[in-house]
Amino acid sequence: MADYSVIAQVQSTVAKMKEEQGLKLPPNYSAGNALQMAWLKLSAPQQGKDTRPILQRCDTGSVQKALLDMVIQGLSPAKNQCYFIPYGDQCTMLRSYFGSITVLKNLTNVKDIKAQAVFKGDEFEIGSDDQMNLVVKKYVPKFENRDNPIVGAFAYIEQVDGQKVWTVMTKKEIDSSWSQSKMHNVQQKFSQEMAQRTIINRAAKFFINGSNDNDLFVQAINDTTDGAYDDEPKDVTPKEHKSITDLIGDSTTDEQSTLEPVENDVDNFIEPDEQPIEGDEIDNYEEPKQEELLDHFGNPND
């Protein structure tokens, strides 16, 4: 059975960040429950050629970093908000569509967010306001178009002052983003949901980097977003990481960890029951209540 110490190490790091660096977790977030559910997923046999649990096949430091990013962003694997994907011997945490929504709604300057995919045949028109800000002037979806190809996506983020900031992407722009992603197969299988996820991540950039939220929170969001894309060639030389400090680094170095190429399709690690959620259903989306698991771990929020 896998060593529980990886959970204890993350709990200790979170407690230290809360005390020394002002880290604040979402009020209703149970870091203890999230870590316990993550441990169950990380210790379970995997699909694909290599069936070893992620805790056995991946570097311990990278697992700790993935878990830490999960907690800082207030994400829960029990709610399908994040996944743990092995790339070579490195573990990476990726946000789902639900996770991206959760992270955005945890930003202090964001009141609401909605996203929609546009299908061929839908009526869609963009324009600008008197300050030359892009706006969506018309959107009329039709039921019979939902089996048609996606031609684009759009989203708006409503700020606390009521102002809406719109973002639009054509299918070509979405495909260009997907071409750099590590989730090619998932994007093809769940194109509507993944198009909405892509437009949300695009829309979120301004708000994330311009927010007044804790730097640890913002950095964890950006690290997870960057980790989903192959923007630059990666050195495949194996590196040893013995602790979480090796993965996080300190402020005096710019050296970044490198990852080996992915060995299995990402969709082997994606839960099959995560279904698309409509943009107008985001406000009404109720996350399932987490049950207490493995109580002997304790809860970092306590």
Nearest to 268 by CA among 54, 107, 97, 121: 54
pLDDT band at 3 (very low <50, low <70, confident <90, very high): low
pLDDT band at 2 (very low <50, low <70, confident <90, very high): low
Q: How far apart are CA 165 and CA 144, in angstroms?
A: 29
Instruction: For residues 105-121, give the mean pLDDT.
Output: 92
Q: How far apart are CA 35 and CA 37, in angstroms?
A: 6
CB within 8 A of 8, min separation 6: which ones? 297
Q: Please give the pLDDT value at position 50.
A: 87
Nearest to 119 by CA among 101, 97, 137, 144: 144
pLDDT tens figures, 242-255: 455 544 444 444 43
Residue that wins the pLDDT comparison between 265 and 225: 225
Residue 267: both structure tokens together: 């969709």
Phi, psi of 286, deg, nearest 5: -105, 120
Q: What percent of the chain clears pLDDT 70, i.e. is strictly above it?
A: 70
Judged by average pLDDT, the poorest of 185-189, 236-240, 245-249 is: 236-240
What is the amino acid identity at position 223? D
